[in-house]
Amino acid sequence: MAAVSGDTNRRGWLTALVAAWVVVIAVLSWWSVGHDPPTVPEQRSIADALPVLQRATGALMAAAPGDDRAVKLGALRVRRDCRVTPVRDGIEAAREVTLYVAADRALPALEEIAAGLPADFRAEAGDSSGGRRVGLHADAGGFVSIDAGEDAGTQVIRIEVRTGCRPLAAGVDLDPDDQPATAPPALARALAAVGGSGAARMREVACPDGGTARTYTVDGVAVPRDLGRSLQPVVAGQTVLWAEPAGWAYLAGSESLVVERIGDALRLSATTPCT
């Protein structure tokens, strides 16, 4: 009987110990949720990620302009068919900043931009594949990344800021941020040069020092018979960075002007730097 009693007491003691440990784990888990930083992107919703994405895009737009490159700010894009887990739907947001550079300037441009991003982004730019590819990577925090990867000889570089797939959140504005606007003078002159017309739309992003970068766009402009000749009055005396049948990019003072073929029509854009 003494042995049975001892076993019963031992089991009771173990049961109490396990119960106490469960309570400790529960308390630690509750505290961790409220105090520990997220360790995977699945722990932060799209509502948490969007402000980080916008700040990262603003930092990129502050670092991107230069005397040897034109810049264009892309619209907020949303992908609604990603999965946070195999059984959990999610959403991903991204913005793109496009650079137009002179020939053989892709890598130097990316290196200068990496150097101009905030130090805590730990931005790096370099080449790979024996110098045939160039790229940039930065960590904007909050599991938001900045990435570019192009052929070394390209003159058009797309740098993308991405949230990755995140849990859905109620009440978050995910609509494109374009709004009607008056075309700035440099864009109006380019539009007149190609014989086009149309209403401009504007998108913007806040910059780290309190300014705002803006891109104004006019779509659906008819393509003139000779695009290069049509643009000569407005590009004369300006810094032309990219000139191909697919389009032109040039600097008019501090503004970036881009004229590109989109299907059977032209898209004209003007970007003002952080001001």
- Judged against a pLDDT cut of 90, whether residue 225 lies above it is answered with yes
Count CB-CB contacts under 10 A for residue 88: 11
What is residue 103's predicted lDDT score, i.e. its pLDDT?
93
CB–CB of 56/99 below 8 Å? Answer: no
What is residue 64's predicted lDDT score, i.e. its pLDDT?
97
What is residue 11's predicted lDDT score, i.e. its pLDDT?
58
pLDDT band at 145 (very low <50, low <70, confident <90, very high): very high
Q: What are the residues facing 263 on neighbouring strands?
A: none
> In this structure, what token pair is assigned to residue 240?
């032309």
CB–CB of 257/247 below 8 Å? Answer: no
> In this structure, what token pair is assigned to residue 135?
């790229």
Percent of the chain's residues with pLDDT above 90: 75
- Judged against a pLDDT cut of 60, whether residue 26 lies above it is answered with no
- Judged against a pLDDT cut of 80, whether residue 27 lies above it is answered with no
What is residue 153's predicted lDDT score, i.e. its pLDDT?
96
CB–CB of 127/107 below 8 Å? Answer: yes
Arithmetic mean of pLDDT, 92-100: 97
- DSSP per-residue letters across 128-151: EGGGTEEEEEEE-STT-EEEEEEE
